Structure 1
Amino acid sequence: MAESTVLDLRRNHSSQPEQNVVTSWLRYLNDRRLITAAVLAWGFTARAFGLAIFTSVLPSVIIALYVIAYLAGGTDATREAIADLFDGHVNVDLLMVLAALGAASLGAWVEGAVLLALFSSSNALEHHALDRTRGAVQALMELSPDEASRIASDGSVEIVSVDALQFGDRVLIRAGGHVPADSRVVDGRSSIDQSAITGESIPVERGVGDDLFSGTLNGTGALTAEVVRLPSESTLAKIVRMVESARDQKSRTQRFTDAFEGPYAIAVIAASAWLGVGSALFGSDAGDAFYRSMTLLVVASPCALVISIPAVTLSGLANAARNGILVKGGNYLEDLGSVTTVAFDKTGTLTVGEPRITDIIATSGIVESELLRQVATVESRSEHPLARAIVDAAQARGIPLLEVANFVSMPGLGVSADVDGQRILVGTGALMERHGVEIPDAMGRTLEELGGDGKTAMLVAVDDLVAGVIAAADTVRPESAAVVANLRKLGVRHLVMLTGDNDQVARAVARQVGIDDVRANLLPDQKLAQIEALRRDGGVVMVGDGVNDAPALALADIGIAMGGRGTDVALETADVVLMQDDLHRLPYAIDLSRRTRTTIRWNIGFSLSVIVVLIASTLSVGIPLPLGVVGHEGSTIIVVLNGLRLLRG
């Protein structure tokens, strides 16, 4: 994987739709088999209690149904048990199969069918949300174009495959096109949307000598650039590799039962064999010894223990989904409550992710609405995101626009046009200086104050006189400050901002939301290094929404993506998705996780206690099988009902 280019990866995934179809059918058939097993098992239970509808069924039909139930519920467990035996391992699958066969040998077919149905169902739950990484990689690959416009030595342009590009090749990047490879601008100037790579909320101006990232989006100007890295070594290709590498590093939470299933299964099988064979050798009745041996297998089968965790996590997952939180597995729900650090991306996470007008400051004698009308009229001809924000602000206030003449766009500086007989300039201080417009000292101080607040300020001049300034910023989400405060109340010790934006803007946002630890100007690999460092001090949650967040989302103990604005790769890589784009759901998710962990611990303790009591009773006084069944199934019902309590809220 480390040597593949993005195009190589795309080709490797070309058969993915067909694989998904096959996988979907296999899962469908598996679910149908489990449903059949469950229905048959509980139907047998009803018959055992003498319901009239079952009393007239022929014994041979009942036996056939028993066999179907065993095959439906026990196929997967038998296959896993045999495979592990060949690998030299003994697990609970083998114990469950032996317990079911033991129950059948004693005529307790219902018990055996129920055991297998419950066990198979729990296994299906554990495999329901696996392997999202390939979907994440596919979303990453879609950022890279398949073809590039390479400029030949004679100046002609030829369309070539991106993987044919070599170091030093010159490429033409048209307006609205994606950058095909990491390159350096040699001619032209344009705005580049590189938010997917750096996290910057506003497109940046790029001209001669500036570097471009592969996969970023060109704005309105055409650029000629020279390839400085092979496609296989581009920043985007590195992100692809980091996503998969980070996912590989992240170990999956092991359930409590997995930690001792091998030793437990061996101990139970050994104890059952000793009880059956050893007792007979020491003079006990062979039939009685076998009865007690099979009873031990039945009561020692960890049904309550096996179902105790899925019952809780399934309820917790349903609760989360009902509240707009998609959790991609029970293990993530369990782990979320134990984290000590929450790291936030800035753009689209703590902020709205769209530039909005924050300040309109007109000089004396000029009406604010008239200033906005003039600026919006000029900017209506521009494609820059800040221009769209200005036009949107005018439309929101019901301000009609005027006619525009002689519009000129000056990349990196601003725009100019004639409006209603007046010459309007909108842009930077350098634009004003170029046109001989003097900037008053008071307006200069205003510009510094706006910049200190992390805002992008645009000067406005009318007929060569400064008329005011308009500022825009990526507005902080209204709930961000409250969410940060609630996380502190929940005991989250460390809150940190990781962003690709500049330090001034990042700290301005951090002050508004109440975060003290700010780490700015970070590229994806640097975010990854920050997450690795934070993990040394405890569990880390990473909250983000962009492609640049994907490696960090994958490496963090829990990755959380904002669902409304999140990119496909962020959503696929994340372990938790806030579907309603509401940060208020984050503290709720952590609290739900803690309640889930508490319930799981109680269920495990109770299940183990019942198993210990039943095993001890079987070994000491030899309890009858029906009593063992009551204790065994009763504990299962109790832990399931306890887990269902999480559906409330």
Structure 2
Amino acid sequence: MASTSFIVEGMHCGACTGRVERALLAEAGVTAAAANLMARAVRVDFEAPARADSLAEALARAGYPIASAETCLGFEASADAETVAAALQATPGVLSVEIAPESMARVSYAQGTVAPSELVRILGGLGVQARVISATAAPKPVAERQAAEAARLKRQVLVSALLTAPVFFLAMGPHLYPPLHHILAMRVGEDVTRAVQFVFTTLVLAFPGRVFLRLGLPALVRLAPEMNSLVALGALAAWGYSALVVLAPQILPPGTDEVYFEAAAVIVTLILLGRWLEARAKGQAGEAISRLVALRPATARVQRPGGVVELAVEELAPGDLVELTPGGRVAVDGIVTEGHGFVDESMLTGEPVPVEKTPGQPVTGGTVNGTSALVYRVTATGADTVLSRIIALVEAAQGQKLPVQALVDRVTRVFVPVVMALSTLTFALWFALGQGLAPSLVAAISVMIIACPCAMGLATPVSILVGTGRGAELGLLFRRGDALQRLAEVKTLAFDKTGTLTEGRPALTDLFLVPGPTEADLLRLAAGAEARSEHPLARAVVQAAEAQGLPPARARKVVATPGRGLSAEVEGRQILLGNAAALAEAGINPAPLAAQAEAFAQDGKTPVLVALDGTPVAVLALADPPKPHAAEAVAALEREGIAVAMISGDVAATAEAVGRQLGISRVIAGVLPAGKVAALSAMKNTGAVAFVGDGINDAPALAAADVGLALGSGTDVAIEAADVVIVGADPRGAARAVQLSRAVMRNIRQNLFWAFAYNTALIPVAMGVLVPFGGPGLSPMLAAAAMSLSSVFVVTNALRLRRAAA
């Protein structure tokens, strides 16, 4: 199975993406095709007999040619030319290979699917030394292509507006200022004014308006009309009829010699204006990706035997030692080798608090160093870095289709033919009712223009684009196509406990002392004894002492008894740490500490009794503490009307104690991974269920839930099984994901309502159903303005999602 992506610049609306996908799926061997309107790209999975070149031909036949590029590779003369050609041709994305006699290969490939350097590496893998002789420039990032498109449309709008201005003045000026009609008739003459309108309108259609003719008319020939077809037909009909009035008025019935050049020119200008505003808004919608790309620095300071050199980030390799200056941006992923400081990782986690970095800790490309100088060893470059993977996930998410889009696709597929039929019906009815040729034509043109399904096609993808971009800013990465919609429908959300709601490691939470030793002295002595133990609970005691700046005392004669505890001699004093049985076996009465130990145990904490010189003196309470914002996450979900549960493999007392602390009433404890799946299945009786986890043992539950959310701090296995990745370790990400999902779906419903309601309301008006009752019709110019504004409204409404889940 091979997979490749094509850049298809000719996609302009949701109907276009549907045609692109259907054209590819009709080819034998194609198993999946997903078009991304915002990125102007399509990803296709295929196997024999399909090939990249045959898929490109299928798209060209459908009217959507791909963006291609060429490179010329030189290879060693001793290499077998057929082997070279076969290896290159087998590369996904390569369209054709031509071998020249002078050991050169001219390769044509789909832009954005493969780079010339990759082709060189492929030949190198066969033992063939090759080099790039010439190559087409690499495709620009999506954000740059969108900016270039907006700039091109701006130029077209300006040219079209300048050419349309005299036409509009000559046609509409007399209506706005009646004396102007007599001035023009006396000084210029009607024939001259019409000739001027003809010339300028022809220029509008021939240059800025050519895009509609170039795309729309071939689609008509293929019997697959789309929005460009409607604009082309409407503008050409108005121009063609008016041209006949100017050039051959004798062939028209008397009284039908009105011209409508202004309708054709203004239609083109207004729709181009709408597209320009739409392209600008799309650029703003895609700012999340632009900001992520901008996080990559261009150069890095690399240590070399001869000193420090500044290299392009593309030249870095794993193992390089990179110097990070105060305030500098981390170039690629690595491990700190020297220095101590804090790094701002808000671009990854959304959390503003900088993270402490010491030797041995990871740093991520794109994050910002604080005030300390650091040195780190490169561990990943290029597409392997965390930032590159995040960008790839976000770009993929922005091109995903939600289940609701399937309905929109079905509607837009039949919408254009239905509109053309309604336009024809409108013309026939008006003409049959004796309204005359010209008014009938104007009404038919208005129907075609007003009904362009641009807003419908944009309603879903633009909301996904902005929503997933906002998710990236909040540290939420949607990995599955329908997760964004399904998460909005969730009724119950279940958390794993350890590592998800809790820190995942034991810590000293309480210290009970009988009169005698001070807390500092006891903790210092206990840490001295526990420092010689490998037990996780012992490490918690040592960390608690270190957190208070207490150096562990020196210990000797350390004896550990499994299942009981540990004894040692510390600074000449005998210390014993363990459970009640350990004290009793040592001849020490644990009764003075029993009540407090039991109280700690009831709270789900592990009590460790301490005796000094044969006297019971303290109880240490050790537990896996809840994360700082876990309770806040639970409360936020409950405010959204979602039932919160916790599923844990821990013992019931501990799990229930954590549940009480966080306000979770439904706790399922003591279950294995299979038990988590069964618990989730039972919860589905009340509606869709989401699960949040982080460990390998959570993978089955993440896959079994309607929506699985994995903490980015968890294992790769858990992340692969999840639908949504919460970058970092903050459980509040689950609440933000739900809020964002609901905001996106609410936005999509608003957009679809506007788009459908707009067409439903204005198509009858354009057909003239109100005219017999004294109501208004709808001129082609007003229809074009309304159609363009509907698309701009949809995109502008989607942009509000940039503030969602704040």
TM-score range, shorter chain: 0.5 to 0.7
- Cα offset for 1:602? 3.0
User: What are the residue-to-residue correspondences of 1:190-269 with 2, within 5 Å?
Assistant: 252-255=402-405, 257-258=408-409, 260-269=411-420
Aligned to 2:784: 629
Q: Does 1:488 align with 2:638?
A: yes
Q: Does 1:609 align with 2:732?
A: no
Aligned to 2:684: 535
Match of 1:504 among 636, 653, 668: 653
Higher relative contact order (CA 8 A, sep 6+): 1
Aligned to 2:529: 378
| Structure 1 Cα separation of the partners of residues 448 and 441 of structure 2 | 11
| Structure 2 Cα separation of the partners of residues 42 and 429 of structure 1 | 81
- Cα offset for 1:639? 2.8
Say whether the 8 Å CA contact 1:98–1:297 is kept in structure 2: no
Aligned to 1:474: 624
RMSD: 4.9
Aligned to 1:426: 577
Say whether the 8 Å CA contact 2:605–2:654 is kept in structure 1: yes
User: What are the residue-to-residue correspondences of 1:174-189 with 2, within 5 Å?
Assistant: none
| Structure 1 Cα separation of the partners of residues 485 and 753 of structure 2 | 16
The 1:286–1:319 alpha-carbon spacing in structure 2 relative to 1, beyond 3 Å, is same
User: SS in structure 2 opposite 1:566?
Assistant: coil
Q: In structure 2, what residue type is equivalent to 1:345?
A: D
Taking structure 2 as the reference length, what is the TM-score of the superposition? 0.51
Q: In structure 2, what residue type is equivalent to 1:102?
A: L
Summarize deviations over 1:472-522 as a string: whole Å, max 9, x none: 111123433344334333333x22111222212111111112211111122
| Structure 1 Cα separation of the partners of residues 757 and 458 of structure 2 | 15
Match of 2:702 among 520, 532, 553: 553
- Cα offset for 1:376? 0.6
Q: In structure 2, what residue type is equivalent to 1:298?
A: I
Say whether the 8 Å CA contact 1:313–1:330 is kept in structure 2: no
Aligned to 2:543: 392
| Structure 1 Cα separation of the partners of residues 727 and 599 of structure 2 | 37
Summarize deviations over 1:135-171 as a string: whole Å, max 9, x none: xxxxxxxxxxxxxxxxxxxxxxxxxxxxxxxxxxxxx
- Cα offset for 1:345? 1.6
User: SS in structure 2 opposite 1:254?
Assistant: helix
Aligned to 1:460: 610
Say whether the 8 Å CA contact 1:372–1:394 is kept in structure 2: yes
Q: In structure 1, what residue type is equivalent to 2:699?
A: A
| Structure 1 Cα separation of the partners of residues 164 and 269 of structure 2 | 17
Q: Does 1:98 align with 2:229?
A: yes
| Structure 2 Cα separation of the partners of residues 616 and 52 of structure 1 | 28
Aligned to 1:237: none
Summarize deviations over 1:355-402 as a string: whole Å, max 9, x none: 210122344433332221122112222333322221111012222222
| Structure 2 Cα separation of the partners of residues 320 and 521 of structure 1 | 34
User: SS in structure 1 opposite 2:525?
Assistant: helix
Summarize deviations over 1:596-645 as a string: whole Å, max 9, x none: 44443333222222212332233337744322211101122223333333
Aligned length: 496
- Cα offset for 1:288? 8.2
Say whether the 8 Å CA contact 1:499–1:519 is kept in structure 2: yes
| Structure 2 Cα separation of the partners of residues 534 and 506 of structure 1 | 18
User: What are the residue-to-residue correspondences of 1:38-437 with 2, within 5 Å?
Assistant: 38-50=150-162, 95-96=226-227, 98-99=229-230, 101-102=232-233, 105=236, 252-255=402-405, 257-258=408-409, 260-272=411-423, 295-323=446-474, 325-326=476-477, 332-429=483-580, 431-432=582-583, 436-437=586-587
User: SS in structure 1 opposite 2:641?
Assistant: coil
Q: In structure 2, what residue type is equivalent to 1:404?
A: A
- Cα offset for 1:414? 3.8
The 1:477–1:29 alpha-carbon spacing in structure 2 relative to 1, beyond 3 Å, is closer
> Is there any run of 5+ residues in structure 2 with no aligned partner, and where?
2-90, 94-110, 116-137, 168-199, 238-263, 290-399, 772-776
User: SS in structure 2 opposite 1:347?
Assistant: coil
| Structure 2 Cα separation of the partners of residues 280 and 513 of structure 1 | 73
- Cα offset for 1:279? 8.9
| Structure 1 Cα separation of the partners of residues 721 and 646 of structure 2 | 19
| Structure 2 Cα separation of the partners of residues 362 and 480 of structure 1 | 30
| Structure 2 Cα separation of the partners of residues 30 and 103 of structure 1 | 32
| Structure 2 Cα separation of the partners of residues 432 and 104 of structure 1 | 95
Aligned to 1:618: 766
| Structure 2 Cα separation of the partners of residues 489 and 70 of structure 1 | 53
User: SS in structure 2 opposite 1:45?
Assistant: helix
- Cα offset for 1:417? 3.3
Say whether the 8 Å CA contact 2:164–2:269 is kept in structure 1: no
Q: In structure 2, what residue type is equivalent to 1:452?
A: Q
| Structure 1 Cα separation of the partners of residues 610 and 646 of structure 2 | 34
User: What are the residue-to-residue correspondences of 1:8-23 with 2, within 5 Å?
Assistant: none
| Structure 1 Cα separation of the partners of residues 661 and 113 of structure 2 | 47
- Cα offset for 1:590? 4.0
| Structure 2 Cα separation of the partners of residues 288 and 31 of structure 1 | 45
| Structure 2 Cα separation of the partners of residues 337 and 375 of structure 1 | 50
User: SS in structure 1 opposite 2:512?
Assistant: strand
| Structure 1 Cα separation of the partners of residues 560 and 488 of structure 2 | 52
| Structure 1 Cα separation of the partners of residues 438 and 535 of structure 2 | 87
- Cα offset for 1:272? 4.9
Say whether the 8 Å CA contact 1:38–1:114 is kept in structure 2: no
Q: In structure 2, what residue type is equivalent to 1:406?
A: K
- Cα offset for 1:63? 5.1
User: SS in structure 1 opposite 2:623?
Assistant: strand
- Cα offset for 1:276? 7.4
Summarize deviations over 1:98-156 as a string: whole Å, max 9, x none: 3355367456666776888969998xx99x99xxxxxxxxxxxxxxxxxxxxxxxxxxx
| Structure 1 Cα separation of the partners of residues 212 and 444 of structure 2 | 23
| Structure 2 Cα separation of the partners of residues 512 and 120 of structure 1 | 49
| Structure 1 Cα separation of the partners of residues 781 and 735 of structure 2 | 47
Match of 1:544 among 693, 699, 703: 693
| Structure 1 Cα separation of the partners of residues 236 and 715 of structure 2 | 56
| Structure 1 Cα separation of the partners of residues 448 and 662 of structure 2 | 58
The 1:440–1:43 alpha-carbon spacing in structure 2 relative to 1, beyond 3 Å, is same
User: Looking at CA atoms only, which structure, 1 or 2, has the larger radius of gyration?
Assistant: 2
Q: In structure 1, what residue type is equivalent to 2:763?
A: I
| Structure 1 Cα separation of the partners of residues 801 and 503 of structure 2 | 32
| Structure 1 Cα separation of the partners of residues 568 and 212 of structure 2 | 80
Aligned to 2:669: 520
User: SS in structure 1 opposite 2:655?
Assistant: helix
Say whether the 8 Å CA contact 1:37–1:70 is kept in structure 2: no
Say whether the 8 Å CA contact 2:575–2:611 is kept in structure 1: yes
User: SS in structure 2 opposite 1:402?
Assistant: coil
| Structure 1 Cα separation of the partners of residues 562 and 415 of structure 2 | 71
User: SS in structure 2 opposite 1:647?
Assistant: helix
Aligned to 1:641: 796
| Structure 1 Cα separation of the partners of residues 704 and 275 of structure 2 | 36
Say whether the 8 Å CA contact 2:273–2:788 is kept in structure 1: no
- Cα offset for 1:464? 5.2
User: SS in structure 2 opposite 1:475?
Assistant: coil
The 1:353–1:361 alpha-carbon spacing in structure 2 relative to 1, beyond 3 Å, is same
User: SS in structure 1 opposite 2:503?
Assistant: strand
| Structure 1 Cα separation of the partners of residues 401 and 675 of structure 2 | 22
| Structure 2 Cα separation of the partners of residues 52 and 287 of structure 1 | 21
| Structure 1 Cα separation of the partners of residues 508 and 213 of structure 2 | 67
The 1:63–1:458 alpha-carbon spacing in structure 2 relative to 1, beyond 3 Å, is farther
- Cα offset for 1:320? 4.8
